[in-house]
Structure 1
Amino acid sequence: MAEENKSCTFRTSIGGQALIEGVMMRGPEKQAIVVRDQEGNLVEKVEGLKFIKDRYPILGMPLVRGTVNFLAAMVNGVKALMYSAEFYPDEEVSQPSKFELWLEKHLSSKKLEQAVVGLAVVLGVGLSVFLFMVLPTFITGGILHFFPGFPMWGRNLVEGLLKIAIFLLYLIFCSKQKDIYRVFQYHGAEHKSIFCYEAGLPLTVENVRVQPRHHPRCGTSFLFVVIFVSIVFSSIVFGIWPITNVWLRSLIHLLLLPLIVGVTYEFNRWVGRHVQDSGLAKVLTAPGMWLQNFTTNEPDDGMIEVAIRSLELVLPSEKGKDEW
């Protein structure tokens, strides 16, 4: 009975990401990418992990590590997506542009990959910041331009509601795309396999299939909490300093972003440990769990097989080393 209770309360630090016809899992020692190619075979790629906090301990400190880990996850995620996309090239092959030819001539393949990954991360972060922080500020400023006497608390409220609305519309739009639907199925398979492992059950398709597809430590929940924390922080800051200039407000949003990500990361760590034994943690994770209705879909058995294999490849050599 004690062993059963232990397995039910075990929480792993292993996390993953859905790819194009594949799943990436990241454990305490290794990272694994498993993709099902066009012939139906499972292609595996396993790499040992080196953590930047081991070289620079200060980057592993609370509040600092959130931003560091977020950026590292973005870089690894883009690389994994690019790798999985190689197995499903575009059917229409066009002639390379002059710019592409110039890049191939002046950059090695490794440097070219680093440049593409760096650009993708910058664009990804930039688009997120623009959509969920800058755009709501400008829309609010445009609307309230016609109401100069509008109170600051009201401005903060309108801006916060717009952030949530844009985020919801973005998730709904993505969930309706046919190509994204299958990726979200793999996302569901990733969650189910981790739940199965945390429950102490053998990693079989049958055991994984019946698990929930909504996981409290999902990246969707993280992004929602980032937006919620940004609303709280901006309400406090602009409540003390009532700034209405949209450019200055946007700049302050950007300056607060590393702190917001850091606080959100620490919050998610606490929730991850206590979501099963704390009513407060369950309430706090409820909105993020609900949002996973848009970012996860029920997988088929083939997708579950991919997720299981990816998880198996990153299980630590020492049992319990991955405990959250």
Structure 2
Amino acid sequence: MSDNQPNAIYGGQAVIEGVMFAGQKVHVTAVRRKDNSIHYLEVPKKEIGWVQTLKRIPLIRGIVGIVEASAKGAQHLNFSAEVFAEEEGVVTKEEEKQTLTGRLTMILGVAFVGILSFIFGKFIFTLVPPTIEQLLFGGLFKNQIGHNLLEGLIKIILLVAYIYGISLTPMIKRLFQYHGAEHKVISAYEAGLELTVQNVQKFNTLHYRCGSSFIVFTVLVGVVIYSFFQYDSFVERIVQRIILLPLVIGVSYEVLRFTNSLREVPVLRFLGYPGLWLQLLTTKEPTDDQVEVSIASFNRMRELDRQHL
């Protein structure tokens, strides 16, 4: 056991060939270059009074947190993409086309894992599933709860299909490995262990607070919330889904916090399992080199945090 006992909750996200960690005072991204060196981006946190006030209000804090994470994460994603592009050097037109395609695929994957495109994605997953459900099963149930359940099932199928599809590319596999490395480092830190590659690799790649878990909860919570509201037409159903989206996000965030607080209670750990199951797709076992990058990012973030405290 190290003297580095956890006294703060940290989170992060995978980026292209690296990991970003958000500290109390600074966000740090570490990216592995082809020459094996590690390149850093360090961005101090700028706290705005009224935003911090909103982040203490239940339901509202989830929405604020998503918007904030999207804005801050985009900067670190762009940094990693720029480093990745610099590493490519001079290429032929065909290679350039393949590289751009690969970069686009990876960026889409990063956006999902880091919730950078969450708002846009949530609108898509809010509008498309009820449309499919209405076209295929519009006359199947008179009870709207049945339609809501089918809509939720379609959302899960689309979500899993999307993740599985992008995970087939080698670049996304590496991204998901860095995602796993991020989780392992946080788990090792929360266990109070010294952050060495050997210690970090003892942990699995799943974590209760992951953004992947949050996305699953928005689907499940949405089914419940939608069941309390009646609609008389398909158009009204779609409009209702859009209007209720902030409520679904807010409640889902609170559910995620609640399940995370119960993860040490054996009989209640199952409440967080749906999110963990999705992480079986969004995380992969990292290599030692990838874990090293994740540790470097976390340690640099902690070092800068201490300097600002």
TM-score class normalised by the smaller sequence: 0.7 to 0.9
Post-superposition CA distance 1:6-51 (Å, at most 9, x none): 96xx574100100100100001121101011222210112222123
1:234-249 to structure 2, matched below 5 A, reads 234-237=226-229, 241=230, 243-249=231-237
Matched with 2:70 is 74
Q: CA RMSD in A?
A: 2.6
Q: Give, in angstroms, the shift of residue 181 of structure 1.
A: 0.5
Q: Does 1:289 align with 2:276?
A: yes
| Cα 1:157/1:274, change in 2 over 3 Å | closer
Q: Give, in angstroms, the shift of residue 228 of structure 1.
A: 0.8
Gaps of 5+ in 2: 95-110
Q: Give, in angstroms, the shift of residue 268 of structure 1.
A: 1.7
Q: Does 1:299 align with 2:286?
A: yes
Amino acid at match of 2:56: G
Asked if structure 2 preserves the Cα contact closer than 8 Å seen for 1:191 and 1:213, the reply is yes
| Cα 1:29/1:253, change in 2 over 3 Å | same
Q: Does 1:161 align with 2:153?
A: yes
Matched with 1:111 is none
Amino acid at match of 1:273: S
Asked if structure 1 preserves the Cα contact closer than 8 Å seen for 2:141 and 2:147, the reply is no
Amino acid at match of 1:192: K
Q: Give, in angstroms, the shift of residue 53 of structure 1.
A: 4.7
Asked if structure 2 preserves the Cα contact closer than 8 Å seen for 1:32 and 1:44, the reply is yes
Amino acid at match of 1:217: R
Matched with 2:45 is 49
Q: Does 1:128 align with 2:115?
A: no
| Cα 1:271/1:39, change in 2 over 3 Å | same
Amino acid at match of 2:257: R
Asked if structure 2 preserves the Cα contact closer than 8 Å seen for 1:216 and 1:288, the reply is yes
Q: Give, in angstroms, the shift of residue 139 of structure 1.
A: 0.9
| Cα 1:285/1:84, change in 2 over 3 Å | same
Matched with 1:268 is 256
**How far, CA to CA, are the matches of 1:58 and 1:215 in structure 2?**
26
Gaps of 5+ in 1: 95-116
**How far, CA to CA, are the matches of 1:11 and 1:181 in structure 2?**
32
Asked if structure 1 preserves the Cα contact closer than 8 Å seen for 2:260 and 2:272, the reply is no
1:178-257 to structure 2, matched below 5 A, reads 178-237=170-229, 241=230, 243-257=231-245
| Cα 1:292/1:201, change in 2 over 3 Å | same
Q: Give, in angstroms, the shift of residue 152 of structure 1.
A: 2.2
Asked if structure 1 preserves the Cα contact closer than 8 Å seen for 2:27 and 2:42, the reply is yes
Q: Give, in angstroms, the shift of residue 273 of structure 1.
A: 2.4
Q: 1:177 aligns with which of 151, 169, 181?
A: 169
Matched with 1:97 is none
Q: Give, in angstroms, the shift of residue 274 of structure 1.
A: 2.4
Q: Give, in angstroms, the shift of residue 151 of structure 1.
A: 3.0
Asked if structure 2 preserves the Cα contact closer than 8 Å seen for 1:52 and 1:59, the reply is no
Amino acid at match of 1:308: I
Q: 1:308 aligns with which of 277, 295, 299?
A: 295
Asked if structure 1 preserves the Cα contact closer than 8 Å seen for 2:14 and 2:20, the reply is yes
